Amino acid sequence: MSGPTARPRIGVVGVGHLGRHHARLFGELDCDLVAVADPDGKARAFAEGTYGVKAHADYRELEGQVDAVSVVVPTKLHREVGTFFLERGVDVLVEKPIARTVEDGQALVEIAERHGRVLQVGHVERFNPALLGIAEIGKSARYIESQRLAPFSFRSTDIGVVLDLMIHDLDLVLALVDSPIRSVEAFGGAVFTPAEDMASAILKFENGAVAHLTANRVALKPLRKMRVFSRQGYASLDFQTQQGMVVEKTPGWDFEQLDLQAIDRAEVGDLWKFVFDGLLKVRNLELSAGNPLLGELADFLRCVRTRERPRVSGEDGVAALAAAQQVLAAIARNRWE
């Protein structure tokens, strides 16, 4: 690729359930999907027939064909595959978690820096439109609670629910709170797989903020919700439906100066309206029907062209993984029998 306006040549390593979405969406963006790699013959045949690209059994065969790749392989292979491309001058988007261990993730960060390559991590919730509506409240968050539930899918069974699902919310919380973690308490256990299938964690931060996160991948119905509380108000977000609501104090709000005794509730025809129209401001978030994964891939291509830092950098991926490891360590201390 030469010049900031050139169309980068893209490869996708791993075209299973999620990798197919990467390949499909790259076709909607200003780039050329030129090749994919997957050891599974059926996956290769599907990719060749659907996307009209060459499919290789070995990812190493993409060398010299691509400027950037999406790495959508099992977590245990992230360091191996990522290293191969970064050392050969290829920019890398690696799915979350960045690697199996913090050490492996940090190694990828250092290799990318050494070779001047873009390294982005696929924490797709950072591109969810719901986050745009809570920027101000999020900056001063004092308490965050999240629930991320999913039916058992038989995917990502090489890792537990903390690295599979909870890590999304850990990344979001770290981005909102922007303070070191002081302590972690967590509980979880295995239900259907050898690893933990449900987990609940309480994180306390140096600035006093607290986050309570719950993840479950053996639920009957999917659920992805988060509530963020601060002194400015609170926000309720539904990542699944991309709906949200923000409740904030009006500019003239001063509870200490409010004469509660002077308020005759009998004369206030609609108390809810009196409070939420007069004293507090309720705002339903106008969220577009955007595609967070498409936004993530577009941001990656932007960084490939401009050489700017991604919205979710390799360092961000390592921080989320380190937090997840703290949760896993706490679960191990409280392991159920």
What pLDDT digit, counting tens, does each position of 15-68 carry?
Answer: 999 999 999 999 999 999 999 999 999 999 999 999 999 999 999 999 999 999
Residue 274 has pLDDT above 50, yes or no: no
Q: Are 95 and 122 in contact (CB under 8 A)?
A: yes
- Give the single-character DSSP code of 100: S
Average pLDDT, the chain: 88
Give 230 or 213, the one with higher predicted confidence. Answer: 213
Residue 217 has pLDDT above 50, yes or no: yes
Bridge partners (DSSP) of residue 92 are 69, 119
Name the maximum alpha-carbon separation found in the chain.
Answer: 78
Q: Determine the Cα–Cα distance for residues 73 and 122; give it in Å rounded to an integer.
A: 12
Radius of gyration, alpha carbons of the chain: 22
Closest C-alpha among 106, 107, 225, 117 to residue 165: 225
> Of the segments 55-59, 139-143, 278-282, which one has the largest average pLDDT value?
55-59
Taking residues 137-166, what's their average pLDDT?
85
Strands 198-205 and 68-71, how do they pair?
A: unpaired
Residues in the chain: 337
Q: Encoding tokens for residue 134?
A: 């809570």
pLDDT of res. 128: 83
Q: Determine the Cα–Cα distance for residues 82 and 65; give it in Å rounded to an integer.
A: 16
Q: Is 16 strand, coil or helix?
A: coil
Taking residues 249-264, what's their average pLDDT?
52
Q: Which domains does the chain have, with CATH numbers?
A: 9-125+292-311 (3.40.50.720)
Q: Determine the Cα–Cα distance for residues 8 and 38; give it in Å rounded to an integer.
A: 21
pLDDT of res. 278: 52
One-character DSSP codes across 173-218? HHHHH-S-EEEEEEEEE-SSSSS-SEEEEEEEETTS-EEEEEEESS
Torsion sign (Cα): 259, 264, 267, 270:
positive
Q: Are 72 and 14 in contact (CB under 8 A)?
A: yes
- Give the single-character DSSP code of 256: G
Residue 82 has pLDDT above 80, yes or no: yes
Q: Determine the Cα–Cα distance for residues 109 and 312; give it in Å rounded to an integer.
A: 12
Q: Determine the Cα–Cα distance for residues 82 and 69; give it in Å rounded to an integer.
A: 9
Q: Are 72 and 15 in contact (CB under 8 A)?
A: yes
Bridge partners (DSSP) of residue 210 are 143, 204
Residue 257 has pLDDT above 60, yes or no: no
Q: How confident is the model at residue 245 (pLDDT cuts 50, 70, 90)?
A: confident
